[in-house]
Amino acid sequence: MCGSMRIRCTSRWRTRRCWWTRRPRRWKGRTGREGWHPGVFVAKGKEHLLVTRNLVPGESVYGEKRISIEQPNADPSLPAEKVEYRVWNPFRSKLAAGILGGLDDIHIGPGKKVLYLGAASGTSVSHVADVVGPEGTVYAVEFSHRSGRDLVNMAKKRTNVIPIVEDARHPNKYRMLLSMVDVVFADVAQPDQARIVALNAHHFLKNGGHAVISIKASCIDSTAPAEVVFAAEVKKLQAESFKPREQLTLEPYESPSQVGD
């Protein structure tokens, strides 16, 4: 895709409405700063799209659209350069849904080290790799060998992704592959997700680091009301010394799910 699109950094957002759905953002918890996500951009055209700068120009990872834009060179004496972005679909990525839903801070940005639990075949991981850029690293953990194959293939081109095909319940098995990280992102959709996150955070999260967790209520307890499940998960995380700062629903992109840090 190319043409009359304008790319804007998400730091320019100044509205309390989600521009994607035009509905008011569903804020819960603190209401301080506006959305500010270095490395994540908005392509403004006929429709607005969330995009990340493609680390491997010319290639899509999972058939997503690409947008090529001519941008002025950082060095004004050089001609304008073509920059390519990949469209990040919030219906396929909980992190993208969280950004569009109004998450205040994803804590993931250029140069960051991210431990991503529940990488699946690497579609969202590939966008996180774009966001952290060549100076950052994404350690992507997935225990399914089938998904792990796609993840490993994706990482062949995105060399800032370290694919780890292991069970996130056993961080000792991959501790030799990791350095300390700035952020743990978790989307394992398991009933014991809080314990898994805590275990990994105790091993690998830097002091002052952050965890961003996606919780799908039905994966934890399909019989209890979603709100009750979310509250119980927050309690479990608090018991593990996490201090929840932000929590929001991922609807309309996901059925009862929340993301928080």
Shorter beta-carbon distance to ligand SAM: residue 68 or 144: 144
- Binding status of residue 189 toward ligand SAM by CB under 6 A: yes
Stretch that binds ligand SAM, among 2-10, 31-39, 183-191, 201-209 (CB under 6 A): 183-191
Strand partners, 66: 86
Are the C-beta atoms of residues 258 and 250 closer than 8 Å to each other? yes
Residues 87-146 that bind ligand SAM (CB under 6 A): 93-94, 118, 120, 123-124, 141-144
Residue 226 exposure: Cα atoms within 13 Å on the Cβ side: 14
Are the C-beta atoms of residues 34 and 13 closer than 8 Å to each other? yes
In angstroms, what is the minimal distance from the CB of 114 to ligand SAM?
12
Shorter beta-carbon distance to ligand SAM: residue 50 or 69: 50
Are the C-beta atoms of residues 168 and 141 closer than 8 Å to each other? yes
Shorter beta-carbon distance to ligand SAM: residue 181 or 188: 188
CA proximity to 212, closest of 226, 225, 200: 200
- Binding status of residue 254 toward ligand SAM by CB under 6 A: no
Q: Give the Å distances, CA to CA, from 87 to 39, 57, 101, 220.
A: 13, 13, 17, 30
Q: What CA–CA distance (Å, rounded) separates 196 from 204?
A: 12
Tokens of 46: 């006929």
Shorter beta-carbon distance to ligand SAM: residue 190 or 218: 190
Residues 150-179 that bind ligand SAM (CB under 6 A): 167-169
Shorter beta-carbon distance to ligand SAM: residue 196 or 229: 196
In angstroms, what is the minimal distance from the CB of 214 to ligand SAM?
7
Placement of tokens 């073509």 in the chain: 82
- Out of 150, 187, 233, 254, name the contact with ligand SAM by CB under 6 A: 187
- Binding status of residue 55 toward ligand SAM by CB under 6 A: no
Q: Give DSSP secondary structure letters for 72-134.
A: --SSTTSPPEEEEEEE--TTT-HHHHHHHHT-S-----TT-EEEEE--TTSHHHHHHHHHH-T
Shorter beta-carbon distance to ligand SAM: residue 5 or 230: 230
Burial profile 158-176: b = 16 or more Cβ within 10 angstroms, e = fewer: bebbbbbbbebeebeebee
Stretch that binds ligand SAM, among 131-139, 174-182, 186-194, 249-257 (CB under 6 A): 186-194
In angstroms, what is the minimal distance from the CB of 239 to ligand SAM?
20
Q: Which residue is nearest to ligand SAM (CB)?
A: 118
In angstroms, what is the minimal distance from the CB of 47 to ligand SAM?
22
Residue 3 exposure: Cα atoms within 13 Å on the Cβ side: 5
The binding site for ligand SAM (CB under 6 A) comprises 93-94, 118, 120, 123-124, 141-144, 147, 167-169, 187-190, 196
